[in-house]
């Protein structure tokens, strides 16, 4: 059970006025359903806010994404309430930040590929050494 406004933000769909980062992130990781409204008169003493019951079912397995990068992208998308996405991605500091992030990503990918090549070469050398050792052992018998 949540405060009604929060519950409505959890279940908001794209295009609705309540759709926000919270909606995007929760719906990425879980299926969210609004079940019932709970009147303030259902409580003694009555609270100052309305409530709603929401069902949140986690998705299994969770999506295979980098959540830090995802949150950064969603944060950019909801940076200005009344701006369109195209206007947000034309802002100079946003473009510069995305370019720097891409360069860092590209650098990390290069390092990963070089590391995997070295590991492959080392494993091939080890296999050759094991094979020659096994041949040497069979000669002794």
The superfamily CATH assigns to domain 2-74 is Vaccinia Virus protein VP39 (3.40.50.150)
List average pLDDT for each run of 10 residues in the chain, which is 141 residues long: 93 90 93 92 87 93 87 84 78 85 84 74 61 56 52
According to the model, what pLDDT value does residue 126 have? 60
Kindly write down the DSSP assignment for every residue of 67-92, as one continuous string.
HHHHHHHHHHHTSSTT--HHHHTTSH
> What local confidence, expressed as pLDDT, does residue 129 receive?
59
pLDDT (0 to 100) of residue 63: 87
CA neighbor of 62 nearest in space, from 19, 83, 34, 31: 31
Question: What pLDDT sits at residue 107?
Answer: 86
């Amino acid at each position: 059970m949540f405060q009604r406004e929060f519950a409505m933000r959890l279940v908001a769909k794209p295009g609705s006025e309540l759709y926000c980062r919270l909606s995007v992130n929760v719906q990425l990781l879980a299926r969210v359903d609004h079940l019932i409204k709970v009147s303030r008169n259902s409580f003694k003493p009555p609270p100052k806010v309305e409530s709603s019951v929401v069902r949140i079912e986690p998705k299994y397995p969770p999506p295979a994404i980098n959540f830090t990068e995802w949150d950064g992208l969603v944060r950019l998308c909801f940076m200005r309430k009344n701006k369109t996405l195209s206007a947000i991605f034309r802002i100079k500091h946003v473009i510069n930040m995305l370019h720097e992030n891409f360069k860092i990503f590209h650098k990390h990918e290069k390092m990963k590929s070089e590391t995997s090549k070295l590991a492959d070469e080392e494993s091939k050398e080890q296999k050759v050494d094991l094979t020659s050792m096994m041949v040497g052992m069979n000669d002794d018998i």
